[in-house]
Protein backbone atom coordinates (compact mmCIF):
# COMPACT_ATOMS: atom_id res chain seq x y z
CA UNK A 1 0.00 0.00 0.00
CA UNK A 2 1.04 3.55 -0.62
CA UNK A 3 1.82 5.48 2.54
CA UNK A 4 1.16 9.05 1.46
CA UNK A 5 -0.65 11.11 4.05
CA UNK A 6 -4.22 12.19 3.52
CA UNK A 7 -3.04 15.76 3.05
CA UNK A 8 -0.62 14.68 0.35
CA UNK A 9 -3.41 12.93 -1.53
CA UNK A 10 -5.33 16.18 -1.83
CA UNK A 11 -2.63 18.87 -2.00
CA UNK A 12 -1.03 19.07 -5.49
CA UNK A 13 1.98 21.04 -4.27
CA UNK A 14 2.64 18.41 -1.61
CA UNK A 15 2.30 15.76 -4.29
CA UNK A 16 4.95 17.50 -6.39
CA UNK A 17 7.30 17.69 -3.41
CA UNK A 18 6.66 14.02 -2.72
CA UNK A 19 7.50 13.05 -6.31
CA UNK A 20 10.77 15.00 -6.11
CA UNK A 21 12.06 12.97 -3.18
CA UNK A 22 14.63 10.17 -3.66
CA UNK A 23 12.71 8.35 -0.92
CA UNK A 24 9.70 8.30 -3.24
CA UNK A 25 11.79 7.01 -6.13
CA UNK A 26 12.82 4.03 -4.02
CA UNK A 27 9.34 3.56 -2.53
CA UNK A 28 7.55 3.38 -5.83
CA UNK A 29 10.28 1.40 -7.59
CA UNK A 30 10.15 -1.08 -4.71
CA UNK A 31 6.47 -1.67 -5.39
CA UNK A 32 7.29 -2.80 -8.93
CA UNK A 33 10.30 -4.76 -7.70
CA UNK A 34 8.14 -6.76 -5.29
CA UNK A 35 5.75 -7.48 -8.15
CA UNK A 36 8.69 -8.67 -10.23
CA UNK A 37 9.77 -11.07 -7.49
CA UNK A 38 6.24 -12.49 -7.56
CA UNK A 39 6.32 -12.65 -11.37
CA UNK A 40 3.43 -10.20 -11.57
CA UNK A 41 4.86 -7.78 -14.16
CA UNK A 42 4.18 -7.89 -17.87
CA UNK A 43 7.66 -7.36 -19.29
CA UNK A 44 10.37 -8.44 -16.83
CA UNK A 45 11.04 -11.01 -14.20
CA UNK A 46 13.86 -10.90 -11.67
CA UNK A 47 16.19 -13.77 -10.74
CA UNK A 48 17.58 -13.07 -7.24
CA UNK A 49 20.04 -15.97 -7.59
CA UNK A 50 21.92 -13.83 -10.11
CA UNK A 51 22.54 -11.04 -7.59
CA UNK A 52 25.78 -12.44 -6.18
CA UNK A 53 27.32 -13.31 -9.59
CA UNK A 54 26.42 -9.81 -10.78
CA UNK A 55 28.03 -8.23 -7.72
CA UNK A 56 31.12 -10.39 -8.28
CA UNK A 57 31.37 -9.20 -11.88
CA UNK A 58 31.03 -5.56 -10.84
CA UNK A 59 33.62 -6.02 -8.10
CA UNK A 60 36.11 -7.49 -10.59
CA UNK A 61 35.60 -4.47 -12.82
CA UNK A 62 36.06 -2.14 -9.84
CA UNK A 63 39.36 -3.78 -8.91
CA UNK A 64 40.45 -3.71 -12.54
CA UNK A 65 40.00 0.05 -12.78
CA UNK A 66 40.63 1.01 -9.14
CA UNK A 67 42.89 -1.67 -7.57
CA UNK A 68 43.10 0.22 -4.28
CA UNK A 69 39.33 0.91 -4.30
CA UNK A 70 40.07 4.64 -4.10
CA UNK A 71 37.15 5.43 -6.35
CA UNK A 72 36.04 8.97 -7.26
CA UNK A 73 32.42 10.03 -7.57
CA UNK A 74 30.44 9.00 -10.62
CA UNK A 75 30.16 12.42 -12.24
CA UNK A 76 30.69 14.42 -15.41
CA UNK A 77 34.20 15.30 -14.23
CA UNK A 78 35.37 11.74 -14.97
CA UNK A 79 34.45 12.22 -18.62
CA UNK A 80 36.35 15.51 -18.86
CA UNK A 81 39.47 13.61 -17.77
CA UNK A 82 39.27 10.76 -20.31
CA UNK A 83 42.28 10.39 -22.57
CA UNK A 84 43.85 13.72 -21.66
CA UNK A 85 44.24 14.59 -17.97
CA UNK A 86 45.66 18.00 -18.93
CA UNK A 87 42.23 19.04 -20.18
CA UNK A 88 41.12 20.07 -16.69
CA UNK A 89 44.51 21.67 -16.12
CA UNK A 90 43.73 23.83 -19.15
CA UNK A 91 40.45 24.86 -17.52
CA UNK A 92 42.19 25.60 -14.22
CA UNK A 93 44.76 27.74 -16.03
CA UNK A 94 41.97 29.65 -17.74
CA UNK A 95 40.35 30.39 -14.38
CA UNK A 96 43.49 31.83 -12.76
CA UNK A 97 42.75 35.14 -11.10
CA UNK A 98 39.21 34.21 -10.08
CA UNK A 99 38.16 33.76 -6.48
CA UNK A 100 37.29 30.23 -5.29
CA UNK A 101 33.57 31.02 -5.55
CA UNK A 102 33.98 32.44 -9.06
CA UNK A 103 35.83 29.28 -10.09
CA UNK A 104 33.06 27.14 -8.63
CA UNK A 105 30.48 29.14 -10.59
CA UNK A 106 32.36 28.45 -13.83
CA UNK A 107 32.64 24.76 -12.94
CA UNK A 108 28.89 24.66 -12.23
CA UNK A 109 28.20 26.34 -15.58
CA UNK A 110 30.29 23.73 -17.37
CA UNK A 111 28.89 20.73 -15.52
CA UNK A 112 25.27 21.81 -15.85
CA UNK A 113 25.34 22.45 -19.59
CA UNK A 114 27.43 19.36 -20.25
CA UNK A 115 25.15 17.08 -18.24
CA UNK A 116 22.05 18.48 -19.92
CA UNK A 117 23.67 17.59 -23.24
CA UNK A 118 24.50 14.09 -22.01
CA UNK A 119 21.59 12.05 -23.30
CA UNK A 120 22.40 9.05 -25.49
CA UNK A 121 24.38 10.06 -28.57
CA UNK A 122 23.82 6.89 -30.58
CA UNK A 123 26.44 4.41 -31.72
CA UNK A 124 27.26 6.19 -35.00
CA UNK A 125 28.35 9.56 -33.60
CA UNK A 126 31.88 10.49 -32.55
CA UNK A 127 33.90 13.60 -31.71
CA UNK A 128 37.53 14.18 -32.70
CA UNK A 129 39.42 16.45 -30.32
CA UNK A 130 41.49 18.98 -32.25
CA UNK A 131 44.27 19.30 -29.68
CA UNK A 132 44.93 15.56 -29.37
CA UNK A 133 43.43 14.07 -32.56
CA UNK A 134 41.77 11.50 -30.30
CA UNK A 135 38.26 10.32 -31.16
CA UNK A 136 35.57 9.74 -28.54
CA UNK A 137 31.98 8.54 -28.70
CA UNK A 138 28.94 8.44 -26.46
CA UNK A 139 29.12 10.19 -23.05
CA UNK A 140 32.84 10.92 -23.22
CA UNK A 141 32.52 12.45 -26.67
CA UNK A 142 29.59 14.62 -25.59
CA UNK A 143 31.51 15.74 -22.50
CA UNK A 144 34.69 16.65 -24.35
CA UNK A 145 32.81 18.42 -27.12
CA UNK A 146 30.81 20.49 -24.63
CA UNK A 147 34.00 21.20 -22.65
CA UNK A 148 35.66 22.82 -25.67
CA UNK A 149 32.44 24.59 -26.67
CA UNK A 150 32.40 26.28 -23.28
CA UNK A 151 36.10 27.14 -23.53
CA UNK A 152 35.33 28.78 -26.88
CA UNK A 153 32.60 30.92 -25.30
CA UNK A 154 29.71 29.31 -27.20
CA UNK A 155 27.45 29.52 -24.15
CA UNK A 156 28.35 33.08 -23.10
CA UNK A 157 27.02 36.31 -24.57
CA UNK A 158 29.86 38.27 -22.96
CA UNK A 159 33.02 38.10 -25.07
CA UNK A 160 35.04 39.48 -22.19
CA UNK A 161 33.98 36.49 -20.06
CA UNK A 162 33.79 33.43 -22.35
CA UNK A 163 34.11 30.85 -19.56
CA UNK A 164 30.56 31.14 -18.36
CA UNK A 165 27.04 30.18 -19.35
CA UNK A 166 24.32 32.79 -19.32
CA UNK A 167 20.65 33.06 -20.24
CA UNK A 168 21.09 35.39 -23.22
CA UNK A 169 23.48 33.06 -25.02
CA UNK A 170 21.37 29.97 -24.32
CA UNK A 171 18.21 31.60 -25.64
CA UNK A 172 19.99 32.24 -28.95
CA UNK A 173 21.65 28.85 -29.31
CA UNK A 174 20.82 27.13 -32.61
CA UNK A 175 20.87 23.57 -33.85
CA UNK A 176 23.46 24.69 -36.38
CA UNK A 177 25.84 25.99 -33.73
CA UNK A 178 25.44 22.82 -31.67
CA UNK A 179 25.92 20.70 -34.78
CA UNK A 180 29.15 22.53 -35.47
CA UNK A 181 30.34 22.09 -31.90
CA UNK A 182 29.50 18.40 -31.95
CA UNK A 183 30.96 17.92 -35.45
CA UNK A 184 27.63 16.59 -36.73
CA UNK A 185 27.40 15.71 -40.43
CA UNK A 186 25.28 13.35 -42.48
CA UNK A 187 28.03 10.77 -41.96
CA UNK A 188 28.36 11.59 -38.26
CA UNK A 189 24.76 11.85 -36.99
CA UNK A 190 23.95 12.70 -33.39
CA UNK A 191 20.73 11.36 -31.88
CA UNK A 192 18.41 14.05 -30.50
CA UNK A 193 20.19 17.16 -31.80
CA UNK A 194 16.91 19.07 -32.01
CA UNK A 195 15.91 17.99 -28.49
CA UNK A 196 19.27 19.10 -27.09
CA UNK A 197 18.93 22.48 -28.79
CA UNK A 198 15.44 23.02 -27.39
CA UNK A 199 16.63 21.94 -23.95
CA UNK A 200 19.37 24.60 -23.86
CA UNK A 201 17.01 27.25 -25.22
CA UNK A 202 14.47 26.35 -22.55
CA UNK A 203 17.23 26.59 -19.95
CA UNK A 204 17.94 30.10 -21.19
CA UNK A 205 14.32 31.12 -20.71
CA UNK A 206 14.01 29.31 -17.38
CA UNK A 207 16.98 30.88 -15.58
CA UNK A 208 15.38 34.36 -15.22
CA UNK A 209 12.28 32.80 -13.63
CA UNK A 210 14.29 31.73 -10.57
CA UNK A 211 16.30 34.79 -9.51
CA UNK A 212 16.86 33.38 -6.01
CA UNK A 213 18.73 30.48 -7.63
CA UNK A 214 20.36 32.00 -10.70
CA UNK A 215 20.64 35.74 -10.07
CA UNK A 216 18.85 38.77 -11.43
CA UNK A 217 21.46 40.38 -13.67
CA UNK A 218 22.61 38.11 -16.50
CA UNK A 219 21.23 34.95 -14.87
CA UNK A 220 23.54 31.94 -15.11
CA UNK A 221 23.43 28.36 -13.83
CA UNK A 222 26.68 28.84 -11.93
CA UNK A 223 25.07 31.21 -9.46
CA UNK A 224 23.43 28.14 -7.96
CA UNK A 225 26.70 27.89 -6.03
CA UNK A 226 25.79 31.01 -4.06
CA UNK A 227 22.34 29.68 -3.23
CA UNK A 228 23.69 26.33 -2.04
CA UNK A 229 26.24 28.04 0.19
CA UNK A 230 23.33 29.69 1.99
CA UNK A 231 21.75 26.26 2.52
CA UNK A 232 24.84 24.77 4.15
CA UNK A 233 25.03 24.36 7.91
CA UNK A 234 28.28 24.36 9.85
CA UNK A 235 30.26 23.51 6.76
CA UNK A 236 28.00 20.62 5.70
CA UNK A 237 25.49 20.33 2.88
CA UNK A 238 23.07 17.46 2.31
CA UNK A 239 23.16 15.89 -1.14
CA UNK A 240 19.35 15.97 -1.24
CA UNK A 241 19.52 19.75 -0.79
CA UNK A 242 21.50 19.97 -4.02
CA UNK A 243 19.00 17.72 -5.79
CA UNK A 244 16.11 19.78 -4.47
CA UNK A 245 17.63 22.96 -5.93
CA UNK A 246 18.29 21.20 -9.25
CA UNK A 247 14.72 19.93 -9.47
CA UNK A 248 13.28 23.34 -8.57
CA UNK A 249 15.49 25.34 -10.90
CA UNK A 250 15.47 23.13 -13.97
CA UNK A 251 12.01 21.52 -13.95
CA UNK A 252 10.65 23.92 -16.57
CA UNK A 253 13.15 22.89 -19.26
CA UNK A 254 11.67 19.46 -19.97
CA UNK A 255 9.22 19.46 -22.86
CA UNK A 256 6.29 17.12 -23.32
CA UNK A 257 6.28 15.86 -19.74
CA UNK A 258 3.51 15.33 -17.23
CA UNK A 259 2.49 18.30 -15.10
CA UNK A 260 0.83 18.65 -11.71
CA UNK A 261 -0.43 21.99 -10.38
CA UNK A 262 1.05 23.47 -13.59
CA UNK A 263 4.49 22.26 -12.48
CA UNK A 264 6.54 20.19 -14.89
CA UNK A 265 7.30 16.85 -13.22
CA UNK A 266 10.31 16.04 -15.40
CA UNK A 267 11.52 12.43 -15.41
CA UNK A 268 8.28 11.01 -14.01
CA UNK A 269 6.23 8.34 -15.80
CA UNK A 270 3.22 6.10 -15.27
CA UNK A 271 2.75 2.39 -14.77
CA UNK A 272 -0.72 0.87 -14.62
CA UNK A 273 0.32 -1.74 -12.03
CA UNK A 274 0.50 1.03 -9.42
CA UNK A 275 -3.01 2.29 -10.02
CA UNK A 276 -4.60 1.98 -6.59
CA UNK A 277 -8.00 3.52 -7.33
CA UNK A 278 -11.07 1.34 -7.13
CA UNK A 279 -13.65 1.10 -9.93
CA UNK A 280 -16.13 2.73 -7.56
CA UNK A 281 -13.81 5.72 -7.00
CA UNK A 282 -12.23 6.82 -10.28
CA UNK A 283 -10.58 10.18 -9.68
CA UNK A 284 -7.55 12.30 -10.39
CA UNK A 285 -5.75 10.20 -7.77
CA UNK A 286 -5.64 7.41 -10.34
CA UNK A 287 -2.85 9.23 -12.17
CA UNK A 288 -1.00 10.23 -9.01
CA UNK A 289 -0.93 6.71 -7.61
CA UNK A 290 0.49 5.36 -10.89
CA UNK A 291 3.37 7.87 -11.14
CA UNK A 292 6.98 6.70 -10.80
CA UNK A 293 9.73 9.33 -10.54
CA UNK A 294 13.33 8.64 -11.57
CA UNK A 295 15.00 12.06 -12.04
CA UNK A 296 17.96 10.33 -13.65
CA UNK A 297 19.51 13.33 -15.40
CA UNK A 298 18.83 15.56 -12.36
CA UNK A 299 20.59 13.11 -10.04
CA UNK A 300 23.46 12.72 -12.50
CA UNK A 301 23.71 16.50 -12.47
CA UNK A 302 23.59 16.56 -8.67
CA UNK A 303 26.44 14.06 -8.46
CA UNK A 304 28.39 16.25 -10.89
CA UNK A 305 27.99 19.40 -8.76
CA UNK A 306 29.34 17.90 -5.56
CA UNK A 307 33.06 18.13 -6.32
CA UNK A 308 33.11 21.91 -6.92
CA UNK A 309 31.25 22.29 -3.63
CA UNK A 310 33.78 20.08 -1.86
CA UNK A 311 36.56 22.24 -3.32
CA UNK A 312 34.95 25.17 -1.49
CA UNK A 313 35.39 23.26 1.76
CA UNK A 314 31.87 21.90 2.17
CA UNK A 315 31.33 18.38 3.49
CA UNK A 316 28.60 16.62 1.50
CA UNK A 317 26.45 14.43 3.74
CA UNK A 318 23.70 11.89 3.02
CA UNK A 319 25.16 10.71 -0.29
CA UNK A 320 23.25 7.43 -0.27
CA UNK A 321 19.92 9.18 0.04
CA UNK A 322 20.23 9.70 -3.70
CA UNK A 323 19.54 6.69 -5.92
CA UNK A 324 21.39 4.82 -8.60
CA UNK A 325 20.86 6.05 -12.14
CA UNK A 326 18.31 4.08 -14.17
CA UNK A 327 19.87 4.38 -17.61
CA UNK A 328 20.98 1.95 -20.27
CA UNK A 329 24.41 1.02 -18.85
CA UNK A 330 23.20 0.21 -15.34
CA UNK A 331 19.97 -1.30 -16.65
CA UNK A 332 21.81 -3.10 -19.42
CA UNK A 333 24.12 -4.71 -16.87
CA UNK A 334 21.11 -6.25 -15.12
CA UNK A 335 19.78 -7.71 -18.36
CA UNK A 336 23.13 -8.89 -19.72
CA UNK A 337 23.99 -10.71 -16.48
CA UNK A 338 20.45 -12.18 -16.34
CA UNK A 339 19.51 -10.52 -13.09
CA UNK A 340 16.59 -9.18 -15.13
CA UNK A 341 15.02 -11.35 -17.79
CA UNK A 342 12.79 -10.17 -20.61
CA UNK A 343 9.56 -12.11 -20.90
CA UNK A 344 9.08 -11.40 -24.60
CA UNK A 345 12.32 -11.47 -26.66
CA UNK A 346 10.66 -9.19 -29.20
CA UNK A 347 11.20 -6.37 -26.70
CA UNK A 348 14.91 -6.49 -27.51
CA UNK A 349 14.36 -6.37 -31.25
CA UNK A 350 12.86 -2.91 -31.72
CA UNK A 351 13.39 0.52 -30.11
CA UNK A 352 11.09 1.37 -27.22
CA UNK A 353 9.60 4.70 -26.20
CA UNK A 354 10.88 6.14 -22.92
CA UNK A 355 7.27 6.39 -21.75
CA UNK A 356 6.45 2.72 -22.48
CA UNK A 357 5.59 0.53 -19.51
CA UNK A 358 8.38 -1.86 -20.50
CA UNK A 359 10.99 0.88 -20.10
CA UNK A 360 9.40 2.18 -16.91
CA UNK A 361 9.54 -1.35 -15.48
CA UNK A 362 13.16 -1.77 -16.54
CA UNK A 363 14.21 1.51 -14.96
CA UNK A 364 12.31 0.92 -11.72
CA UNK A 365 13.81 -2.53 -11.25
CA UNK A 366 17.26 -1.14 -12.04
CA UNK A 367 17.01 1.43 -9.22
CA UNK A 368 16.35 -1.25 -6.61
CA UNK A 369 18.85 -3.73 -8.03
CA UNK A 370 21.60 -1.11 -7.90
CA UNK A 371 20.96 -0.79 -4.16
CA UNK A 372 21.05 -4.59 -3.81
CA UNK A 373 24.28 -4.87 -5.83
CA UNK A 374 25.87 -2.11 -3.74
CA UNK A 375 24.88 -3.80 -0.47
CA UNK A 376 26.28 -7.13 -1.68
CA UNK A 377 29.59 -5.57 -2.72
CA UNK A 378 29.96 -3.80 0.63
CA UNK A 379 29.31 -7.05 2.47
CA UNK A 380 32.01 -8.79 0.43
CA UNK A 381 34.47 -5.99 1.20
CA UNK A 382 33.47 -5.48 4.82
CA UNK A 383 32.73 -1.83 4.10
CA UNK A 384 29.88 0.51 5.00
CA UNK A 385 27.89 2.97 2.91
CA UNK A 386 30.03 5.72 4.42
CA UNK A 387 33.21 3.91 3.29
CA UNK A 388 31.84 3.08 -0.16
CA UNK A 389 28.79 5.17 -1.07
CA UNK A 390 26.59 4.31 -4.02
CA UNK A 391 28.00 7.19 -6.09
CA UNK A 392 31.40 5.43 -6.03
CA UNK A 393 29.95 2.00 -6.79
CA UNK A 394 28.24 3.52 -9.83
CA UNK A 395 31.59 4.83 -11.04
CA UNK A 396 33.73 1.83 -10.20
CA UNK A 397 31.34 0.13 -10.76
CA UNK A 398 28.01 -0.72 -12.27
CA UNK A 399 28.13 1.87 -15.07
CA UNK A 400 31.60 0.74 -16.16
CA UNK A 401 30.63 -2.92 -15.85
CA UNK A 402 27.48 -2.31 -17.90
CA UNK A 403 29.54 -0.89 -20.70
CA UNK A 404 32.11 -3.69 -20.44
CA UNK A 405 29.62 -6.57 -20.57
CA UNK A 406 27.82 -4.90 -23.47
CA UNK A 407 31.12 -4.74 -25.40
CA UNK A 408 31.72 -8.43 -24.66
CA UNK A 409 28.30 -9.47 -25.92
CA UNK A 410 27.51 -7.18 -28.89
CA UNK A 411 29.43 -5.43 -31.67
CA UNK A 412 29.88 -1.77 -30.80
CA UNK A 413 28.86 -2.35 -27.19
CA UNK A 414 25.26 -1.40 -27.82
CA UNK A 415 22.88 -1.84 -24.86
CA UNK A 416 20.54 -4.85 -24.89
CA UNK A 417 17.48 -2.60 -25.05
CA UNK A 418 17.20 0.15 -27.63
CA UNK A 419 15.48 3.43 -26.71
CA UNK A 420 13.76 5.94 -28.96
CA UNK A 421 15.49 8.90 -27.33
CA UNK A 422 14.66 12.57 -27.83
CA UNK A 423 18.01 13.51 -26.32
CA UNK A 424 16.62 14.49 -22.90
CA UNK A 425 16.41 11.29 -20.83
CA UNK A 426 18.98 8.64 -21.75
Percent of residues in the chain assigned helix, strand, coil, to nearest 5 = 55, 10, 35
pLDDT digits (tens, 9 = 90+) for 284-294: 556 889 999 99
Average pLDDT for the chain: 92
- pLDDT for 199-246, tens place per residue? 999 999 999 999 999 999 999 999 999 999 999 999 999 999 999 999
Q: Is the pLDDT of residue 311 over 50?
A: yes
What pLDDT sits at residue 282?
A: 45
Sorted by sequence, the CB contacts under 8 Å of residue 294 that are 6+ apart come out as 25, 267, 268, 269, 326, 363, 364, 367
The predicted-structure confidence for 98-136, as pLDDT tens digits, reads as follows: 999 999 999 999 999 999 998 777 889 999 999 899 999
pLDDT digits (tens, 9 = 90+) for 9-19: 678 999 999 99
Residue 409 has pLDDT above 80, yes or no: yes
C-alpha–C-alpha distance, residues 46 and 339, integer Å: 6
pLDDT confidence of residue 276? 67
Using CA of residue 110, residue 112, residue 114, residue 115, what is the dihedral sign? Answer: positive
Tell me the pLDDT tens digit for each residue of 359-374: 999 999 999 999 999 9
Range 185-196 average pLDDT: 91
Task: Note the pLDDT of residue 272.
Answer: 93
Q: What is the spatial distance between Cα 75 and Cα 80, in angstroms, rounded to a whole number?
A: 10
Q: What is the pLDDT of residue 423?
A: 60
Q: Where are the domains of the chain?
A: 1-74+257-277+285-295+319-426, 75-223
Asked if the model's pLDDT at residue 86 lies above 90, the reply is: no
Which of 145-149, 197-201, 398-402 is the least confident region?
197-201
Query: For residue 378, which phi and psi values (nearest 5 degrees)?
Result: -60, -40
Q: pTM here?
A: 0.92
What is the pLDDT, as a whole number, of residue 5? Answer: 47
Amino acid sequence: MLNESAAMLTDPLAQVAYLRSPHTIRERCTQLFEMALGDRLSHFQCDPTRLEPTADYVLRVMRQHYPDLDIPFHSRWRHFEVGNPSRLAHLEQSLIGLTPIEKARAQFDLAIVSVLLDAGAGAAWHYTETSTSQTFGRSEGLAIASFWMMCQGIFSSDRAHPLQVNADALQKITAESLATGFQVTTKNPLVGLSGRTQLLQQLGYTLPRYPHLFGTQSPRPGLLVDYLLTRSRNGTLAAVQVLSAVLEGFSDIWSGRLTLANINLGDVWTHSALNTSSPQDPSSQTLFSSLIPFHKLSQWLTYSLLEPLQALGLEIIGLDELTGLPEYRNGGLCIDLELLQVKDPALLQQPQLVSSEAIVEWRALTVILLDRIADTIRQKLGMTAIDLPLVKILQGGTWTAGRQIAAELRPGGTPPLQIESDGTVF
